[in-house]
Structure 1
């Protein structure tokens, strides 16, 4: 019962000084909000990245001119030669049966139409080959895939994503019909099964045509850089296939043994590692801001509690004179400091989760609740309440009851 009474007195004191308590809670919540908000967004983005990469072909890696995650690769890698179609085709031929090799090039912002129906102007026109489906983990729902002959002859045929099919052919079978995309006409030979979204971008809003036809009609002739996807027969063979592919690509690029690679090779794991490095730097910066804010909030808690001790000196004297022990006074004021910090931490967690998920929602990233970070944030706030509230509580508990009763 005595501890219940101490808790009641602590909450009563906080409620009596609403404005002071609210300002202290606000200062604490700012520090928690900054880290929880950032980590909520990062956790959602990480989950979305894992989901997006899992949709790629299994046991695969990519070869490109530039790194995958880089804001402006031209600053550092602009002098690298393009991966042109003849070189990419030679790489594919040299790899032979070692692995499945897919060549791919794309352009966004394309409008496709059929009769009076049109897609939104963000469709992707993909130039690719017969290994497109396996490399991108797609499946044909109806019809057939692009074939080697389609690529060799540069035929005006296409396979279409599920979203394009729904927009252009809501009530008819698209197979055999002709669509217009990028100013050219293509006969639909296959319908790709739906795959969903990744990082807010639909993976079904595309039309895939033979890469030779893409290069012929999109301009630039053979001088477009190609992305290469290599799929190993199994996970166990992936390292060996990757070593072979690097050697073959160096041969195709005409590099000497002492020359560095003028192309980039990356796997799903390397993409995740790169993303992790970026998010770690963001998290470190957020931790720094949060630490400063929480330190300031802790000092605020101590200051408020010292003011409270001074204002309630006579009350402390009365309680001591009627039998309150030193540990009871210590516990009461310590509880007040911890409650202030925990309420601030709770408000910060709520605001951080809401803010982080709001940013995620704007970027079409799935919303999550970071339980681990929320619990850690509350624990840190509780610790701050104890550390910064201990001295004011000890000072209150150490007051001489006679001197305290004389206080005006």
Structure 2
């Protein structure tokens, strides 16, 4: 009953001093809003990225020329650019020299291509990937219709293609694409299959692509580009051993002397997640600083409201003490009122932060999220603010002399 009564008195205090209460609650709301909106948006983006990384496979990793996230300024970028390109030949040698990998996928890509079928055409944004069969063994893409190309298609350089869902939607409104002929730039391909829809990452579609056999890609789109290798370990437990074997073999293939740094990058799901967290830590830090300043200001406001409330209710406190209320009862009542006041503002900030964060998530076409951990942290913070800044007014109320309080006008 004491808690409910104290919350009721806190509500009456807010209603009784609307402007002062509004400014105090606004400070708390801004503090919690700044934390929750940033954490909700980052959590939504992070979950979407993790889901996309998981599609690569928990026991897979990439070997590529550039790191997944480039940092370090122009000098570092120049250093990466000056590395020798990885080549399909090196990928084939890697397959021959290693025993642990279950698959060594090789991929070359060309971006910004136009795909045509009859009078229909895509925007110049299609990603064309030239791959071997192992690439799809490792990636485990789901087929929607038709088939994937085989080793025979690759070895015989057959001009066949498998389409991503966006290309199918754009070119084949009411036609089964399997068996049809498309053109990429000026080159013709027979469609032998289509992939199931994969969705988006950070608003970017994962379905706007065409896959063709690697030798065909090299013939039509050139060899002067860096390849990437998708390595599939036998199991997640053996991923580190597989990485070590691949690194050793590739260093030998590329003629890297002992003691020299690798001139290629190994990229895993865990590394990508860690790098994403590293990139977003400054947003979290900025939100924390804003929240700290706003909550300190709000805490001072709560103290001010509670001091005014003690003054306005001096006679009430005297009467309660005269009929037997102890110091701890008065102290508890005013601390609970301060916490309740803090919670009112905190809940407003949390709700607005959740709405704002998920609006950002919707704008980026990522999944909505409810960050329970940060909601709990937010409520704990508001409770601490209420207690810290409510103790002094509560102690002042608890220490009032009942005789002097009853005389107060």
TM-score, with normalisation over the residues of structure 2? Answer: 0.89
The verdict on how the C-alpha distance between 1:234 and 1:379 changes in structure 2, with shifts beyond 3 A counting, is closer
Q: Is the Cα contact below 8 Å between 1:85 and 1:226 reproduced in 2?
A: yes
Q: Deviations over 1:223-255 (max 9, x none)?
A: 201111111233343333221111111112110
Shift of 1:96: 7.0
Q: Deviations over 1:339-375 (max 9, x none)?
A: 1100111011111111111111111110111112112
Q: Is the Cα contact below 8 Å between 1:58 and 1:231 reproduced in 2?
A: no
| Equivalenced residues, count | 406
Q: Is the Cα contact below 8 Å between 1:57 and 1:134 reproduced in 2?
A: no
Q: Deviations over 1:183-240 (max 9, x none)?
A: 322121222233333443333321111233334433xx32201111111233343333
The match for 1:268 is: 269
Question: Is 1:290 equivalent to 2:284 in the alignment?
Answer: no
Q: Is the Cα contact below 8 Å between 1:10 and 1:336 reproduced in 2?
A: yes
The match for 2:352 is: 351
The match for 1:203 among 206, 224, 234 is 206
The match for 2:55 is: 55
Q: Deviations over 1:132-169 (max 9, x none)?
A: 32222213344332334444454422111233223322
Counterparts of 2:91 and 2:113 in 1: how far apart (Å)? 25
Question: Is 1:330 equivalent to 2:327 in the alignment?
Answer: no
The match for 1:176 is: 179
The match for 1:25 is: 25
Q: Is the Cα contact below 8 Å between 1:41 and 1:356 reproduced in 2?
A: yes
Q: Is the Cα contact below 8 Å between 1:158 and 1:186 reproduced in 2?
A: yes
Counterparts of 2:144 and 2:212 in 1: how far apart (Å)? 17
Counterparts of 1:346 and 1:154 in 2: how far apart (Å)? 63
Counterparts of 2:30 and 2:137 in 1: how far apart (Å)? 48
The verdict on how the C-alpha distance between 1:98 and 1:23 changes in structure 2, with shifts beyond 3 A counting, is closer
Counterparts of 2:339 and 2:133 in 1: how far apart (Å)? 65
Counterparts of 1:4 and 1:140 in 2: how far apart (Å)? 59
The match for 2:167 is: 164
What stretches of structure 2 of length at least 5 have no aligned partner?
none
How does 1:98-109 map onto structure 2 within 5 Å? 98-109=101-112
The verdict on how the C-alpha distance between 1:10 and 1:201 changes in structure 2, with shifts beyond 3 A counting, is closer
The verdict on how the C-alpha distance between 1:33 and 1:9 changes in structure 2, with shifts beyond 3 A counting, is closer
Which deviates further from its counterpart, 320-329 or 120-129? 320-329
The match for 1:278 is: 279
How does 1:75-94 map onto structure 2 within 5 Å? 77-94=80-97
Shift of 1:324: 5.2
Q: Secondary structure at the match of 1:165?
A: helix
Counterparts of 1:3 and 1:371 in 2: how far apart (Å)? 25
The verdict on how the C-alpha distance between 1:4 and 1:117 changes in structure 2, with shifts beyond 3 A counting, is closer
Counterparts of 2:8 and 2:89 in 1: how far apart (Å)? 80
How does 1:292-311 map onto structure 2 within 5 Å? 292-311=293-312
The verdict on how the C-alpha distance between 1:97 and 1:383 changes in structure 2, with shifts beyond 3 A counting, is closer
The match for 1:123 is: 126
The match for 2:235 is: 234
Shift of 1:99: 3.4
Question: Is 1:15 equivalent to 2:15 in the alignment?
Answer: yes
Counterparts of 2:105 and 2:234 in 1: how far apart (Å)? 14
The match for 1:361 is: 362
TM-score, with normalisation over the residues of structure 1? Answer: 0.89
Counterparts of 2:324 and 2:3 in 1: how far apart (Å)? 15
Q: Is the Cα contact below 8 Å between 2:104 and 2:231 reproduced in 1?
A: yes
Q: Secondary structure at the match of 1:188?
A: strand
Counterparts of 2:375 and 2:348 in 1: how far apart (Å)? 11
Counterparts of 1:97 and 1:320 in 2: how far apart (Å)? 80
Q: Is the Cα contact below 8 Å between 1:52 and 1:199 reproduced in 2?
A: no
The verdict on how the C-alpha distance between 1:229 and 1:2 changes in structure 2, with shifts beyond 3 A counting, is closer
Shift of 1:100: 1.4
The verdict on how the C-alpha distance between 1:4 and 1:294 changes in structure 2, with shifts beyond 3 A counting, is closer
Q: Deviations over 1:71-93 (max 9, x none)?
A: 67625523322213433343344
